Amino acid sequence: MKYLKLFENFNQSQIDDICEYYGIQNYIINSDGSIDVDGDVDLNSKKLTKMPLKFNKVSGWFDCCGNELTTLENSPNYVGDDFYCSGNKLTNLIGGPKEVVGDFDMEGNELTSLDGYPKIIGGDFFPHENPITHWVIRLFDYNVKIYLDYQETYNFLRKDCKIVKHLLEEVIKDYNEYYDKQVELPEKIEGYTYEN
């Protein structure tokens, strides 16, 4: 795609052309080359491998589903409604929004990590059909906050899809005691390997 270059190098005319091409209206261009959009952004099924622009704030919903994105870099920092990024090739959420007022839908990606998870999600979180949800989130009853707290404290899941087994055992023991649960360590976790 001809628009993939450093955003800071775009002049106003180029940004206007890109916005027109993607049907983005009611926007302002910030000094860093990012844009704020008053309304919705629909980038659904545009065959994108990267964001065509650097977004800062979007007051409505933001939809980048059904593309071939491997990163959320240059996604808006703030989304005033729902954020949709399902059906891509994401392995983490780095570069994604920091605040989503509505729902965050990232189903059907290749997520093995929740690095980059937003600080605030006002609505529901839809993590289904990702490798990480088959076990990590399921271990914690789909409570992402609990998972993230344990991951930050114990760092049991490494970036190379390796799980430090003794750390996960400690996590499960603490989780069972604190939350009065009966979770057991899975023998095998598809897509991940144990290391001692």
Question: Has residue 29 got a pLDDT over 90?
Answer: yes
Are residues 180 and 98 both part of a single domain? no
Q: How far apart are CA 75 and CA 71, in angstroms?
A: 9
The DSSP code sequence of 143-178 is: -HHHHHHHHHHH--B-TTSEEEHHHHHHHHHHHHHH
Average pLDDT in the 46-58 region? Answer: 97
Is 43 inside any structural domain?
Answer: yes
**Residue 104 and residue 152 share a domain:** no
Q: 75 with 148, same domain? A: no
Tell me whether residue 2 is in a domain: no
Reported confidence tier of residue 68, pLDDT bands at 50, 70, 90? very high
Which helix (DSSP H) or strand (DSSP E) does residue 162 occupy? strand 162-164
120 and 59 in a single domain? The answer is yes
Q: Is residue 12 helix, strand or coil? A: helix
* Residues 185 and 113 both lie in one domain: no
The verdict on 87 and 165 lying in the same domain is: no
* pTM (global) more than 0.85: yes
CB-based contacts of 151: which residues, under 8 Å, 6+ apart? 114, 157
Q: Which domain holds residue 183?
A: 144-196
- Kindly state whether residue 20 falls inside one of the protein's structural domains: yes
Answer yes or no: do 58 and 155 share one domain: no
Q: If you average pLDDT over residues 92-97, what whole number do you get? A: 97
Number of domains the chain contains: 2
Structure confidence at residue 90 as a pLDDT band (50, 70, 90) = very high
Strands 35-37 and 27-29, how do they pair? antiparallel
Task: Give the whole-angstrom CA distance, residue 122 versus residue 124.
Answer: 7
